[in-house]
Amino acid sequence: MDGGAATPLILFPTCVMEAMAPAIGDAVVRTLRDRGFEPSIPPDATCCGQPAWNAGHPHEAATVARTTLTALADAPPGPICVPAGSCATMMRVYWPELFRRVGDERAEAAAVDLADRIVEFTRLVAAADGDDEDGRAPREGAVAYHHSCHMLRELHIRDEPLALLDDAGYTVAEWADDERCCGFGGLFSVKEPEISVAMADEKIDGLPIGEIEALVGSDLSCLLQLEGRMRRRGIELPVRHIAELLDPSGPADGR
């Protein structure tokens, strides 16, 4: 983007991205810059607490989430971009309830104040996607898009990622199972591994494999589940976070 100073933006990268896919973090940063933002990560932010919350351990979840909440509340004002639908849901939808559950009124109030600032990555980018398309080489090719559950049903984000892919020049292929759960579900995949795998298999079996060059999604945990299962079954289809397809410098592997 040329002209005008970049808008400072808080980025909450998520633990899964930092641990398992820092290169996708680069793609997120470059995409945000391309759309006129200058992201920074608050040094004291850790994790949103979701793993413990979903497992039924609100106290442990709150202990971790409180650290992140404080770090974000102390950061400069403005939107907080989260490149994962489920973490964005945890922070935006569940944090107030989490802190209420453990009786921490101050954190609850802070979480309520913060909720409106939490914006999932594709929603932020789609809203910022202005008239300036220069310098972005149009891409082509067909992909399948996995709608992750919380992003779709709790944040009600469905059209934004599809529009972004379309704008970038990709065709999103028909995939009957695109809105069905991938079977990850955090601890669910550990406690009920067989059901979890069966759920992934049904989704994978429905993929129009020959027609697409990648499976794309906005939640790394779902993508790790689907990629992990496909590799176990010997299916080599590339799996991409949407930021990699929006990245002005193109998808890089870096594995």
**Of residues 91 and 140, the one with the C-beta less far from another protein:** 91
Find residue 144's DSSP bridge partners. 215
Smallest separation (angstroms) from another protein to the CB of 189: 6
**Of residues 166 and 191, the one with the C-beta less far from another protein:** 191
- Rounded distance between C-alpha atoms, residue 44 and residue 74, angstroms: 10
Cα distance between the two ends of the chain: 29
Cα 14 off chain centre by: 8
**Of residues 56 and 138, the one with the C-beta less far from another protein:** 56
Q: Are the beta carbons of 203 and 182 closer than 8 angstroms?
A: yes
**Of residues 20 and 167, the one with the C-beta less far from another protein:** 20
Smallest separation (angstroms) from another protein to the CB of 24: 6
Smallest separation (angstroms) from another protein to the CB of 156: 10
Smallest separation (angstroms) from another protein to the CB of 131: 26
Query: Taking the CB of residue 52, how many other CB atoms lie within 10 A of it?
Result: 20
- Rounded distance between C-alpha atoms, residue 237 and residue 222, angstroms: 15
Smallest separation (angstroms) from another protein to the CB of 12: 10
- Rounded distance between C-alpha atoms, residue 80 and residue 41, angstroms: 10
**Of residues 13 and 161, the one with the C-beta less far from another protein:** 13
Smallest separation (angstroms) from another protein to the CB of 50: 10
Query: Taking the CB of residue 142, how many other CB atoms lie within 10 A of it?
Result: 15
Q: Are the beta carbons of 32 and 81 closer than 8 angstroms?
A: yes
**Of residues 3 and 43, the one with the C-beta less far from another protein:** 43
Smallest separation (angstroms) from another protein to the CB of 122: 18
Question: Kind of pairing, strands 214-217 and 171-172?
Answer: unpaired
**Of residues 39 and 161, the one with the C-beta less far from another protein:** 39
Torsion angle, CA of 72/28/13/53, rounded to 10 degrees? 110
Give the long-range contacts of residues 43-46, CB within 8 A, separation 24 or more: 43/71, 44/70, 44/71, 44/74, 45/12, 45/71, 45/72, 46/15, 46/71
